[in-house]
Amino acid sequence: MKSYAYYPGCSLESLGKNYHISAMEVASKLGLDLQEISDWNCCGATAYYPIDELLAYTLSARNLAIAEQTGLIDFVAPCSACYKNAYSTNKLLKSDPELAEHINYALEADNLKITGSMNVRHLIEVFLEDVGLEEIKHKAIKPLKDIKVAPYYGCQMIRPRKGDENVENPMFFEELISAIGATPIDFSSKTRCCGGSLIITNRSAALDMVSKLLQDATSNNADVIATTCPMCNVNLELYQRQVNHEFGTNYSIPVMYFTQLMGFALGSTEKALKIPRDFFSKISLNIGMEPS
Amino acid sequence: MTEKIGVYICHCGTNIAGVVDVQDVSRWVGKELASEGVVIARDYKFMCSSLGQELIQKDIQELGLTRVVVGACSPHLHESTFRNACKEVGLNPYLCELVSLREQDSWVHSDKNAATDKAKAIISGGVSRVIYHEELEPLKVPINPNTLVVGGGIAGIQAALEIADAGYHVYLVEREPSIGGHMAQFDKTFPTLDCSACILTPKMVQVGNHPNITLLTWSEVVNVEGYVGSFDVTVNKKARFIKTDTCTGCGICWEKCPKKVVDEVFEVGMANRKAIYTPFPQAVPKYPVIDAENCTYFINGKCKACEKFCPTGAIDFNQKDEEVIIKVGNIIIATGYDLFDAKRIPQYGCGRYDNVYTSLEFERLSNAAGPTGGNIILKDGKTIPKSVGIVHCVGSRDQNYNEYCSSICCMQSLKFAHLVHERTGAEVYNFYIDIRTPGKGYEEFYNRLLEERTNFVRGKVAEISSFARIPEEEGKLIIQVEDTLISKQRRIPVDMVILSSGLQSRSDAKEVAKMFGISCSAENWYIERHPKLDPIATMTEGIYIAGCAQGPKDIPASVAQGAAAAARVMGKIQQKEISLEPIRATINEEQCSGCRICNDICPFNAILYHEDKMTSEINPALCQGCGTCVAACPAGAISGTGFSNEQVLSQIEGLLLLKSLENEYSYSGD
């Protein structure tokens, strides 16, 4: 069983708790050991960077330094913002010795030191690369037949470029959705921003962004939007009513974490995946399954 | 000191004299370097003028100078001028050394005192070096009057015809089954809109029938050996499976062939061809080829329909690839370009949306001999588009892909806009960053398009999608663009999009360059000898470049460069033999350990390894005297004439002389 230094991030303790629980459930089904690092802190999200870059980097660096102590190789984040911050910090401090020195000076107060040795990865990367599509397909004992899924990548997960991957039209999420038996829709807005924390500071601008995503998904007949980030999930799910109020629409489309969909296909119960009852019956109705 | 050295400092108008105190330099050299053998030091306004040269010649004759140092411009410009001046009065030209006071001093410095000191130092280096110069004689090699032209596009065709018409023999090698290149795929040519095939095919026929041209199509150069005047080129003639001596090109074979294959080359995937085919009706030569990968007979041993129906028995399934060696004196490389792959920009939807076309695809769509007979219709095969968007600079002027301007796309896009407008009456939108129409009649063509009421939107297209946000966008391709002239984001729904893809170097340009021993730019375009004054020759003697292989250019420029390359080659052939610079490297066989490090690093493939003796040897005709091997040889077994250790070390000592004199003075002053 391969072990990973797992950094859930703040959102997964509150609004995104179902992401955390379903991620753990899927990982255990796939034989992966996600070891939550101890005494972690907030990554600074998107808000801290414009205020104080150095301190923002130091926040992520502290988590990475704690992870380095575990002796594990991979630093895994399920939240796209956490992933982006950790990845960028880790990469930058290796190319900028001065920054590394500043960060380490700050970390000294906590008896920590960062070398940049962790391999920072998003949770979906781990499933795709370390388990593989074939294995996932093989383990998907309840394939989500006839479910049309909008693969919503969001903007942060693919934007720290790792190599020459296709960031404009990535396809790995679609491949994962196909592997669990569902049908990915052609979702041209899949990498557009959901508005992120703009929902708090400039609500009307963010609602406009959310509405376009909902429109694209529903006009392509998606049954559910799958997300890889707690922020995206909140914006797309909880603000549907506001969008409807603001734009005179009547969107009512389920939004789920990709781990919840995966867990479902891998045979986990709705309880283990923290899927609400009405949610579940909607899905099971579609795929002709009895609620267990 | 046995040498008598004359030193001549050029003012170059104010180019040198404006920054360097030339009189002071001249006085200093005459005084301080007298001990080195300097018998005369002069300065003069323009050393390269005939009066300046005569000054040097007079001194050689009257003072009996044995060495000459000229402090002037870069050796690239006037080294040969001063060497010839010396030669005319009987001094071996290689005993004259040119010191670059302009490019390496006055042009790059503003501090006059420091620049003057530097001038003294580098002149002093030249004086110390020239003492160790040897008398050298240029190497003479005969020139084989035959020429190889690689690539049968318009540039190669033009070059081949010019040389052949002058009475010399040309081997024209083309990779595809027919010559014609990209130009054969086009419908109309800008700005005059004359039909591409109508002006190209007569030239193709001329090539096919020319007694002085040996045409090798479906062939590739696989090896090049030798040097200017005497190249041995190995060409692989791919098996055609056709007996060309009996085939009449009647076409029954491809009519009868039951196997349809998508034509990815000539028709860029827009139409089918047969497994036995000529790429287009006017192909030269007229003989087809059998595509063995797709031929039913080669796949499962049955069929042979072509053989059964061929009236002259010209099909031969037993043909094999054949390597021929051709001997030529000069080579012209005209290998053309590849179209930028628009799929690399996924947000433009190429390959995802049916009605997004690349420029070459649209050329076929609008071509009367193309898949739709020249009808500009949507992929459904019937609908005439009501609105068409043309995107400029796809993959060009873009830091993510190619930074350069592909130079032809603006005019090409204007041509497309005109054709769409003329044939469909559709509303046409051109999305551009800048309109670039520098050419004869080009700007006028742009004005014509403006009068035709083509819409021009200045802004780089962000995305092309099918995601409709309002009912008017349903079923359309929506072009999202920032219109920078009105500072607004716009969404423009259209029926068809044409991506004006840029040009890029051939995917195998680098390997080809290595084979011929020429160099490539970072983008793999072939590098000319001089960007302005010699855009045709390469740094390798006897190898010339023409057409898009050197960089993006349109048809007139390709033709001009092809003809110019031909003129250069004919000039070389006329000389019958040529003198090669005697600046060469030689390997001391005793010291050579046979490590072969020099073999691989030589940019001109000039070093041969003798397996029997386990030593390397430099071919003097191929060596360009660059010195790379001299520096790399771990045993110090290689020395370069003109760049011997003695010469280089004494030059360094000379450079440092000023510094050591200053130190002496300062000590004496204490």
- Per residue in B262-321, pLDDT (tens digit) is 999 999 999 999 999 999 999 999 999 999 999 999 999 999 999 999 999 999 999 999
- Asked if the structure places residue B186 within a domain, the reply is no
Does pLDDT of B210 surpass 70? yes
**Is residue B184 included in any domain, yes or no?**
no
List CB contacts of B74: < 8 A, sequence separation 6 or more: B98, B100, B102, B103, B104
Answer yes or no: do B346 and A168 touch at CB < 8 A. yes
Domain boundary among B549, B580, B611: B580
Q: What percent of chain B has pLDDT over 70?
A: 99
| Dihedral of the alpha carbons of A220, A226, A227, A230, in degrees to the nearest 10 | 120
B533 and B590 belong to one structural domain: no
Q: Which of B553, B580, B607 is the last residue of a domain?
A: B580
CATH classification of the domain holding B383: 3.50.50.60
Structure tokens at B495: 């029926």
Are B152 and B13 in the same domain?
no
Structural domain of B427? 338-504
pLDDT in tens, B610-659: 999 999 999 887 888 888 999 899 988 998 888 888 899 999 999 998 87
Domain total of chain B? 5
pLDDT band at residue A290, thresholds of 50, 70 and 90? very low
Q: Is B365 in the same domain as B478?
A: yes
pLDDT band at A291 (very low <50, low <70, confident <90, very high): very low
Rounded to whole angstroms, the Cα distance separating A191 from B409 reads 30
How far is it, in rounded angstroms, from Cα B620 to Cα B581? Answer: 10
Strand partners, A75: A5, A120
- CB under 8 Å to A191, separation ≥6 — which residues? A153, A154, A155, A158, A167, A168, A169, A170
Residue ranges of domains in chain A, CATH in brackets: 2-123 (1.20.1050.140), 136-286 (3.40.50.11810)
B25 and B123 co-located in one domain: yes
Does a structural domain hold residue B181?
no
For B401, name the nearest residue in chain A, comparing CA atoms only: A164
Residue B474 lies in a domain: yes
Neighbour count for residue B364 (Cβ, 10 Å): 24
B165 CB-near residues (< 8 Å, 6+ apart): B210, B212
> Minimal Cα–Cα distance from B269 to chain A, Å?
23
Same domain, B123 and B258: no
For A139, the token pair is 């383990």
Residue type at B19 in one-letter notation: V
* pTM score of the predicted model: 0.78
Least confident of A276-290, B157-171, B242-256: A276-290
CB < 8 Å to A212, chain B: 469
The A-side interface with B (CB below 8 A) comprises 166, 168-169, 188-189, 212, 215-216, 219
Q: Are both B348 and B458 inside the same structural domain?
A: yes
Closest-approach residue (CA) in chain A for B350: A169
pLDDT classification of B582: cutoffs 50, 70, 90: confident
Predicted complex: ipTM over 0.85: no
- Phi, psi (rounded to 5 degrees) for A210: -65, -40
pLDDT digits (tens, 9 = 90+) for A193-240: 999 989 999 999 999 999 999 999 999 999 999 999 999 999 999 999
Structural contact between residues B288 and B254, judged by C-beta atoms closer than 8 angstroms: yes
B470 touches chain A (CB under 8 A): no
> What is the spatial distance between Cα A250 and Cα A148, in angstroms, rounded to a whole number?
19
Q: Are B127 and B95 in a shared domain?
A: yes
Token pair, residue B548, equals: 């898009």
Indicate the range of B12-16, B416-420, B431-435, B600-604 predicted with least confidence.
B600-604
Neighboring chain B residues of A189 at a CB cutoff of 8 Å = 467
Chain A residue whose CA is closest to B345: A168
pLDDT digits (tens, 9 = 90+) for A41-75: 999 888 888 889 999 999 999 999 999 999 999 99
Give the closest-approach CA distance of A104 to chain B in angstroms: 34
What are the chain B neighbours of A169 within 8 Å (beta carbons)? 346-347, 352
Strand partners, A225: A150, A255
What are B648's two structure tokens? Answer: 């280089």
Whether B89 and B32 share a structural domain: yes
- Name residue, tokens 């403006």: B450
Give the pair of three-digit tokens for residue B574.
């006329």
**Joined tokens for residue A275:** 């899927």
Residue in A59, A66, A126, A69 with CA at minimum distance from that of residue A89: A59
- Specify whether B348 is located in the same domain as B482: yes
Subunit contact B467:A166, Cβ cutoff 8 A: no
* Residue B191 resides in a domain: no
Domain with residue B303: its CATH number is 3.30.70
Q: Is the pLDDT of residue B609 over 50?
A: yes
Q: What is residue B63's three-state secondary structure?
A: helix
B368 with B437, same domain: the answer is yes
Distance from C-alpha of A212 to C-alpha of A249, rounded to nearest angstrom = 11
Burial of residue A144 (number of CB atoms within 10 Å: 0-12, 13-18, 19+): buried
Residue A292: pLDDT band (50, 70, 90) is very low
Query: pLDDT tens, B506-541?
Result: 999 999 999 999 999 999 999 999 889 999 999 898
Q: What is the CATH number of the domain that holds B107?
A: 3.40.50
The last residue of one of the domains, among B504, B536, B568, is: B504
Positive or negative, the Cα torsion across A169, A173, A174, A176?
positive
CA A194/CA A235 separation, integer angstroms: 7
B380-391 in b/e burial notation, b at 16+ Cβ within 10 A?
Answer: eeeeebebbbbb
Residue count of chain B:
670
> Does residue B212 form part of some domain?
yes
B576 interface with A at CB cutoff 8 Å: no
Asked if the structure places residue B190 within a domain, the reply is no
Mean residue pLDDT of chain B comes to: 94
Chain B hits for A216, Cβ within 8 Å: 467
Single-letter amino acid code for the residue at B548: C
Please tell me the predicted confidence (pLDDT) of residue B666. 58
Same domain assignment for residues B215 and B252: no
Q: Which residue has the tokens 């007298």?
A: B34
Is the domain of B531 the same as that of B653? no
Of B555, B562, B563, which is closest to residue B194 (Cα–Cα)? B555
- Judge whether B95 and B129 are in contact, CB under 8 Å: no
Q: Decide if B666 is inside a domain.
A: no
Could you give phi then psi for residue B492, rounded to 5 degrees?
-115, 115
> Contact at 8 Å (CB) between B393 and B500?
yes
**pLDDT for res A281:** 58
A-chain residue closest to B466, CA distance? A188
Query: Which residues in chain B have their CB less than 8 angstroms from residue A161's CB?
Result: none
pLDDT band at B670 (very low <50, low <70, confident <90, very high): very low
Residue A288 CA from chain centroid, whole number: 28
Q: Is B469 on the interface with A (CB under 8 A)?
A: yes
